[in-house]
Structure 1
Amino acid sequence: MTTARPLHAVTETTATTAAPEWEAPMPLGTSRAVPPFPIDAFPTWLADHVTAVANLTQTPPDLAGCLALVALSTAAGGRVRVQVRPGWDEPVNLYSVVVLPPASRKSAVFKAMTRPIRAVEKELVAEAKAEIESARIGRRAAEEFAARAEKAVLSADMSERDAALEAAVNAAMQVDKSAMPITPRLIADDATPEVVATLLADHGGRIAVLSAEGGLFGTLAGRYSGSPNLDVFLKGHAGDLHLVDRQGREATAVEEPAITLGLTIQPSILDGLARNETFRGTGLLARIMYSLPVNTVGNRISRPTPAAPEIADAYDVRIRSLVRELAEWTDPAVLVFTPAADDLMADLQDEIEPRLHPVTGSWAYLGDWGGKQAGLTARIAALLHLAHNPTSWAGAITTDTFTAARRITDYAAAHALAAFDRMGCDPVIDDAHVVLDWIERTRPTSFSVRELFTAMNRARFKKVGDLTPALDLLEQHGHIHHTPPPERRGPGRKPSPTYYVHPSHRAGGDS
């Protein structure tokens, strides 16, 4: 629980009215300190580029760092697997979500980190044009031949009809076999789950969904369909068989789907995720590597020193090489752990397990995410191995690579704890979110506790006093400010306590 701190001064204007001088409100659940991204866990060429992009855009290094992992995942997802030990192997695709407020220059970072992938995508499209055009002409010729064969059946006499019918059937089957090649695609934006499933089926079982705006969560929550549709994203992380139904066609089986997610979302989106029971109950939130970096807005410099061009060039060459090398693979490469690296993995598993105990574990409320930390570490170790060896993957994943991956997932664990705090795992925080939702919906300048209680669900708040902890927390975070009630004059009920609302939550207000 966040401790109280003075957030604003109060100026008395009358005996019964107070007008606070507001500071910016703190988001709920942000009391937990989070570590910076361990950039030096990357090989030099990747660390230098992440540092350069963060400096040039004046953004937290966490964003470029997470997107560096996403770029590696986009290259290797569906094309590489990692085997920790016999009986335990993992795909290497990642789901990454970075939480940043608006105007944080997210798009510039996405552009810098995905540029080589988009360049390869354009090259693949250009190379496929001749094949696609040839297939189009061939299919049109087959269709015309089939049409003539069908007409021949109608005009044939009885002695020739069987042979004509057989020829027409064979011609129709030839049309069916002449499927059109698909224009290559590596990256999608905020696509619906149905579109993502189709892209998986069309592009060898893998696709990356990368977006600086993170509207995908709104889509998943049912903005367009009316109900959450998470199946493809659950299976696309685990690599489980997914059947893609298409109108007028047989279902396509995607044997080992691999989706990469690289998203940034606003804090307000994160605040509501865990309250969507489907997101938490299905395990989608447990599959995500979270990052809640310290916001740089207000501390940025206008003319940062540009990095040497060869830093970006080295990044582009390495990522392009990796994407091109793996683009046409069908059978995945398998990266294995050395016995010593496996020993370190076992140590990590032994550390994690007590934290997950449902009664005594410090991660009891985070057991779904904590139970996947070891698997996340294995995936990141494989990606770092590829980053160290982008053109030659000989050799197994070493202890040094595992240790670097462990540093990143220790970072991820701390940020996951902060993220789940913000998402309302603490019941008082969750109650405060309910009250704040009402404030943002109704946009009052002030409200009385009695008025609030009347609007609340009795299943959650059975008596007026049940609101007190949530109101205290909201006041501590600067969203509301209690003002003394007016003096009671004569008999009657005591006036209900009144709270001013921060201007950013009022009708027509701004922060």
Structure 2
Amino acid sequence: MNSLPHPSVPPAGTSSDFPLPCFPTWHLPPAVRDYVIGEATASQTPDAVAATLVLGVCSAAIGGKVSIAARPGCSQPSNLFVAAINDGTNHEASLFTRIRRPLEVIEMGRVNAARSVQAEEKSRLRQAHLRLRELERDFARPQAFALAKEIADNPLLPVPRLILDDSSTAKLSTVLAQQQGHIARFSGVAAVRELLAGSAAQSNLARQELYRKAYRGESITLDQPGGQRVALQQTAITCVCAIPRSAVEGLHKRPQQSRGVTDCFLLAMPKSKLGQRKIAPPAVAEACNQQYATLVQDLIAIEGHATLRLSDAARHSFEAWEAEVETMLAPDAPLASFAAWGDNLTGNTLRIAAVLHCIRQQKEGELPDTDVSAETIEAAIGIAQFFLAHTVAALQTMQNAPPKPEPQTPPAASDNRSPVPTPADADQLLPNNESVDQQQSASPTKFVAPAKPLLTEGSQPDWAASPKPLSMNPGQHVCTSNTSEQPPPRPGRPPRKFRGKPVGSGKRKH
């Protein structure tokens, strides 16, 4: 087995310039390898972004239908929590939309097909309620009880749903109850606030616990409006996120009371290609698009539940990988600071192996073979090694603030500055060696007569005149001065509280 040496993991406190490995596309099955490379070339984004999102879409297609067991007592469901950290450009947003497009097309087709069935079921339910009211009005208790039980046992089927994205206002618990505990969450920057940043609020903690239980495939009992409780078996939530790099780098500002469900995620943080993108790259071949869409349709069409098991050679390789990961969890090892995430790494490796096995065993609507080969588990370990290095680098970015640019100090003052000229130096600068006084006497200043005549004897300036006495005119309630230029009277009647009283009279109301 190609073991991952410890130096490949970014050491604590390293900068974002630490070289991270590229995504091993050679480990992907041919059915998706060509599509990943084609989409990465067409969008001019790293291969890791497209590969991570494709793995998430395929995991969502088989979520809740396939599980994998390495040995008795060690099994994992097939749903993944993956996130691709990118630059947040339009190229990457379009890439995210195209990769999940097959799921949206299948969901739209199911909704259109269920529209007529929904109309019939609603009509049947209304007729049953009307019949129940007639029986209750006639006091036909045995028939009313039987009809009420029949209505309760045959509720209205919900609209089929595969995707829950950021634009949806539906509550996660309600959607899980309607879809029998299986849903795929596609998110962008909202995933940082809800899934990665976390919060200590009670409502957010309850939502995080719901994500964790569905990640582990546990049974959940949900409270619904009206006092109803819905019991779900083997729940499965698949999270596929495309997160801007700036949002991840800003997580260090939040108090680390909770980091959400970060320990469940496989993060890919490839190097940016901005400034190096090609203009007018070739588009994805139509054959690759059709092959990828057919693959997703075949995985969605799987019915029933299958439990995959490792062959002897695959189990030996996986146990060697488990031993290697365990050494990384030691106090002085690379994963010591991220023990919760490292503890889930081997389980996520099994989930990747289940997704790769289902892609290789592509059969329309049929369950895959239950034996997982050593080649598949080796490919899953190789992909897990890629996510190990990238996730550790991303977690360090979330915890540590980016380095601030060093302030630029002003240049030191040189000692060759010209001294301040003295009067003696100024005399030397004048022509013909004349002094300043001689230059001023040579050009006498011309006298300019003032525009206003000066004060005559016995007169006073305007500002020295005594102020004019003020007088109060009670009839007009206006303070006027003894001058002919009086302001016009106030139009209209004065306010009620001032009628018949001078301004300022009376007690002030508090």
Same fold (TM over 0.5): yes
Contact 1:135-1:178 at 8 Å conserved across structures: no
- 1:304 maps to 2:297: no
Change (3 A) 1:223 1:58: farther
Are residues 276 and 77 of structure 1, via their aligned partners in 2, closer, same or farther at CA, if it must alter by over 3 Å? farther
Correspondence for 2:328 among 344, 355, 358: 355
Within 5 Å, give how 1:42-441 maps onto structure 2: 42-153=28-139, 164-190=140-166, 195-211=171-187, 213-220=188-195, 221=198, 227-228=204-205, 229-273=207-251, 275-280=254-259, 284-326=261-303, 329=304, 332-358=305-331, 360-391=332-363, 393-424=368-399, 429=400, 432=401
How many Å separate the matches in 2 of 1:253 and 1:277? Answer: 33
Secondary structure in 1 matching 2:141: helix
RMSD over aligned Cα, in angstroms?
2.6
Instruction: Report what 2:407 is aligned to.
Output: 481
Contact 1:149-1:171 at 8 Å conserved across structures: no
Deviation of the 1:104 alpha carbon: 4.8
CA distance in 2, matches of 1:133, 1:146: 20
- Cα-to-partner distance string for 1:356-393 (whole Å, 9 max, x where unaligned): 012x2222112111111111111101110111111162
Q: Take 1:400 and 1:109, find their aligned partners in 2: how far apart are those partners?
A: 30
Provide the identity percentage: 26
Describe the SS at the equivalent of 2:242. strand
Query: How far apart, in 2, do the equivalents of 1:279 and 1:254 lie?
Result: 27
Measured after TM superposition, the shift of residue 241 of structure 1 is 2.1
Aligned to 2:463: none
CA contact (8 A) 2:199 2:257 kept: no
Aligned residues: 394
User: Is 2:21 the counterpart of 1:35?
Assistant: yes
Structure 1 counterpart of 2:248, which letter?
A: L
Distance 1:188 1:276 in 2: 28
Report the CA distance between 1:295 and its aligned residue.
Answer: 1.4
In our comparison, the structure showing a higher alpha carbon Rg is 2
Judging changes above 3 Å, is the alpha-carbon distance between structure 1 residues 485 and 409 closer, same or farther for their aligned structure 2 residues? same
Specify every segment of 5 or more residues in structure 2 that has no aligned partner in the other structure, as ranges: 1-12, 414-510
> Once the 2 structures are TM-superposed, how far is the Cα of residue 322 of structure 1 from its aligned partner?
1.2
Amino acid at match of 2:181: G
Displacement of 1:32 after TM fit? 2.5
SS at match of 1:325: coil
Q: CA deviation at 1:95?
A: 0.3
Structure 1 residues 403 and 334: alpha-carbon distance in aligned structure 2, compared to 1, 3 A threshold: same
Q: Aligned to 2:267, what secondary structure does the other structure show?
A: strand
Q: 2: distance between equivalents of 1:256 and 1:485?
A: 68
Whole-angstrom CA distance in 2 between matches of 1:69 and 1:276: 32
Query: Partner letter of residue 323 of structure 1?
Result: I
The one-letter code matched in structure 2 to 1:256 is Q
Q: For residues 308 and 44 of structure 1, what CA distance do their matches in structure 2 show?
A: 15
For the residue of structure 2 that corresponds to 1:474, the secondary structure is coil
* Structure 2 Cα separation of the partners of residues 199 and 226 of structure 1: 17
SS at match of 1:252: strand
Structure 1 runs not aligned, ≥5 long: 1-26, 154-163, 434-472, 488-511
Decide whether aligned partners of structure 1 residues 223 and 266 sit closer, same or farther in structure 2, where only a CA change above 3 A counts.
farther
Q: How does 1:457-496 map to 2 (within 5 A)?
A: 473-475=403-405, 481-483=407-409
Contact persistence 1:243–1:252 (CA under 8 A): yes
C-alpha distance in 2, partners of 1:88/1:66?
25
TM-score, length of structure 1 as denominator length: 0.72
How many Å separate the matches in 1 of 2:200 and 2:241?
18
- The answer to whether the 8 Å contact 1:28/1:422 transfers is no
Amino acid at match of 2:283: P
Using the alignment, how far apart are the partners of 2:90 and 2:274 within structure 1? 7
Distance 1:344 1:95, change over 3 A: same
Following the alignment from structure 1 to structure 2, what is the Cα–Cα distance between the partners of residues 340 and 47?
Answer: 25
TM-score of the pair, normalised by structure 2: 0.72
Indicate the SS of the match to 2:283.
coil
Letter in 1 for 2:287: E
Paired letter, 1:173: K
If each structure's helix is expressed as a fraction of its own residues, which one has the higher value?
1
Report the AA paired with residue 313 of structure 2. Answer: A
Of residues 41-50 and 221-230 in structure 1, the stretch that sits farther from structure 2 once superposed is 221-230
Aligned 8 A contact 2:184 2:237 in 1: yes
In 2: Cα distance, 1:293 partner to 1:237 partner? 25
Distance 1:170 1:103, change over 3 A: same
Return the letter of the residue paired with 1:334.
T
